[in-house]
């Protein structure tokens, strides 16, 4: 099972339907980003990344998730 399948399986569970999923990867290919988006990922960051940007992105995702409940 790859990461895309993990995302698909999480999205099948109603508990995780709106849970933000951020992909942290070394891949920057558009095709792979599209696969992740189609699987249900809500964000994509290519390593190495700025730690402050990661914190900001996760904080925004958590706020959105909390607001959805």
User: Which CATH number is 28's domain given?
Assistant: 3.40.50.2300
pLDDT at residue number 57: 87
Q: How far is CA 3 from CA 21, 23, 39, in A?
A: 11, 9, 9
SS3 45: strand
pLDDT in tens, 37-59: 999 999 899 999 899 999 988 88
Range of 44's domain?
A: 3-68
Using a cut of 0.75, tell me whether the model's pTM lies above it.
yes
Q: Select from 56, 54, 49 the least CA-distant residue to 27.
A: 49
Q: Number of structural domains, the chain?
A: 1
Contact yes or no for 64/20 (Cβ under 8 A):
yes
């Amino acid at each position: 099972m790859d990461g895309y399948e993990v995302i698909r399986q999480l999205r099948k569970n109603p508990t995780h339907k709106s849970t933000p999923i951020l992909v942290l990867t070394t891949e920057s290919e558009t095709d792979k980003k599209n696969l992740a988006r189609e699987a249900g990922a809500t964000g994509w960051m290519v390593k190495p990344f700025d730690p402050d940007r990661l914190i900001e992105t996760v904080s925004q995702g958590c706020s959105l998730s909390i607001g959805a409940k």
